[in-house]
Structure 1
Amino acid sequence: MSDVTIRDADIRLGQFLKLADAVEQGSDVKALLADGLVLVNGEIETRRGRQLHAGDVVALGGQKFTVATRAK
């Protein structure tokens, strides 16, 4: 599992997957979500705009990413 640091308090799922280098292009996200291949906190997620917050865990293709924020 790897931590992916975000700038703000939250981030949309599609943006997060691109930031985490889990997808090459943002357009790849739609198909992955439609096929039920993305999990957020252990549950299948189909919404590209789902808001993620610190501590959320995103899984895709055997990889897991944790949403982390910068220490203030």
Structure 2
Amino acid sequence: MHDDIIEVELEEEPIELCKLLKVLDLAEGGGHAKLLIADGYVGVNGELCTQKRKKIYTGDTVHFDGDTFLMSAAQNMVQREQHKAPAPKAPKAKQAAPAKQAAKPAAAEKAKKKTSNRDENTGRKPISFG
């Protein structure tokens, strides 16, 4: 065990754990990094971490192969914006609802015609291989 703390300056925040292992040359590639994480070889902030895409921020520590890496902010660090879920759409006006209701009987008739060729017991359509 090395017991040394290695300081890593982040230029972008957050960084995914698998990408961090790749950038630090602790893994040969992304697939290897994900395998190391999934197999339990990596710790984050003193705890075992199996989340491959765990977000790492300034102040976090990453433990791997006896080394401890402390994340710090570079002077020109860029913080990426978090992706937000799209805002729910406003419900459509009620004026369109009567038009849909008028169309439903026609659609129901079409559905009845389509189901006429289904087997009454199984509900399946016949298959032809000819």
Check if 1:33 corresponds to 2:37: yes
Q: Aligned partners of 1:8, 1:2: CA distance in 2, in Å?
A: 18
Q: Which moved more, 1:48-57 or 1:30-39?
A: 30-39
5+ residue gaps, structure 2, are 77-130
For the residue of structure 1 that corresponds to 2:12, the secondary structure is coil
The answer to whether the 8 A contact 1:20-1:65 is kept is no
Aligned residues: 72
| Coordinate RMSD, CA, aligned | 1.3
| 1:63 match | 67
Aligned-pair CA distance for 1:8: 1.6
TM-score, reference length from structure 1: 0.87
The correspondence for 2:23, drawn from 15, 19, 37, is 19
Structure in which a larger fraction of residues adopt strand: 1
For the residue of structure 1 that corresponds to 2:75, the secondary structure is coil
The correspondence for 1:6, drawn from 4, 10, 23, is 10
What code does the residue aligned with 1:67 have?
A: M
Identity percentage over the alignment?
33
Structure in which a larger fraction of residues adopt helix: 2
Query: Moved runs in structure 1, 4+ residues, more than 3 A?
Result: none
Of structures 1 and 2, the one with the larger relative CO (CA 8 A, separation 6+) is 1
TM-score, reference length from structure 2: 0.51
Which of the pair has more CA radius of gyration?
A: 2
